[in-house]
Amino acid sequence: MNPLDPKEFRKQGHMIIDFLADYYQNISNYPVLSQVEPNYLKKLLPSSAPSNPESIETILEDYKKHIIPGITHWQSPNYFAYFPSSGSTAGFLGEMLSTGLNVVGFNWISSPAATELENVVIDWLGEILNLPKSFLFKGNGGGVLLGTTCEGILGTLVVARDKILSKIGSENIGKLVVYGSDQTHCAIQKAAHIIGINPKNFRAIKTNKLNSFTLLPELLLSTIENDLKNGLVPCYLCVTVGTTSTTAIDPVGLLCKVAKDYGIWVHVDAAYAGSACICPEFRYLIDGVEDADSFSLNAHKWFLTNLDCCCLWLKDPNSLIKCLSTTNSEYLKNSASDSKQVVDYKDWQVTLSRRFRALKVWIVLRSYGVDNLRNFLRSHIEMAKTFEGLVKMDKRFEIFVPRTLSVICFRILPYSKKVANGKVQNGGVKLISNGDDFVANGKVQNGGVKLISNGEDFVANEINRKLLDSINGSGDVYMTHVKLISSENVVANEINRKLLDSINGSGDVYMTHAMVEGVYVIRCAIGATLTEEMHVVKAWKIVQDHADLILKDRKG
Q: In the chain, what's the furthest Cα-to-Cα distance?
A: 87
Answer yes or no: is pLDDT of 437 > 80. no
Give the pLDDT confidence of 202-224 residue by residue, as tens digits. Answer: 999 999 999 999 999 999 999 99
| Residue 233, strand partner residues | 176
- Tell me if 117 sits within 8 A of 361, measured CB to CB: no
Cα–Cα distance measured from residue 504 to residue 523, given in angstroms and rounded to the nearest whole number: 12
| Residue 234, strand partner residues | 177
Give the pLDDT confidence of 529-554 residue by residue, as tens digits. Answer: 999 999 999 999 999 999 999 988 76
Q: How many CB atoms lie within 10 A of CB 58?
A: 11
Cα–Cα distance measured from residue 128 to residue 120, given in angstroms and rounded to the nearest whole number: 12
Q: Choose among 26, 82, 16, 68: nearest CA to 511.
A: 82
- Tell me if 296 sits within 8 A of 149, measured CB to CB: yes
Average pLDDT (436-453) is 36
Domains annotated for the chain, with CATH where assigned, are: 104-327+335-355 (3.40.640.10), 436-482 (no CATH)
Amino acid at 417: K
Q: How many CB atoms lie within 10 A of CB 42?
A: 8
Give the pLDDT confidence of 492-513 residue by residue, as tens digits. Answer: 999 999 999 999 999 999 999 9
72 CB burial (10 A radius; 0-12, 13-18, 19+): middle
| pLDDT at res. 469 | 74
> Residue 439, SS3?
strand
Strands of 397-399's sheet, edge to edge? 79-80, 510-516, 519-525, 407-412, 397-399
Cα–Cα distance measured from residue 64 to residue 29, given in angstroms and rounded to the nearest whole number: 14
User: Which pTM does this prediction carry?
Assistant: 0.87
Radius of gyration (C-alpha) of the chain in whole angstroms: 26
Q: Which pLDDT band holds residue 484 (cuts at 50, 70, 90)? A: low
| pLDDT at res. 253 | 97
Answer yes or no: is pLDDT of 429 > 80. no
Answer yes or no: is pLDDT of 459 > 70. no
Lowest mean pLDDT among 100-114, 226-240, 317-331, 415-429: 415-429
Give the pLDDT confidence of 151-186 residue by residue, as tens digits. Answer: 999 999 999 999 999 999 999 999 999 999 999 999
Average pLDDT (237-244) is 98
Q: How many CB atoms lie within 10 A of CB 454?
A: 12
Strands of 265-269's sheet, edge to edge? 142-146, 310-314, 294-298, 265-269, 233-240, 176-181, 202-205
Q: Which helix (H) or strand (E) holds 257?
A: helix 252-260
Average pLDDT (252-280) is 97
| Residue 237, strand partner residues | 179, 266
| pLDDT at res. 329 | 83
Answer yes or no: is pLDDT of 55 > 70. yes
Answer yes or no: is pLDDT of 419 > 50. no
| pLDDT at res. 454 | 41
Q: Choose among 509, 378, 376, 406: nearest CA to 91.
A: 376
pLDDT-above-70 percentage for the chain: 89
Answer yes or no: is pLDDT of 143 > 80. yes
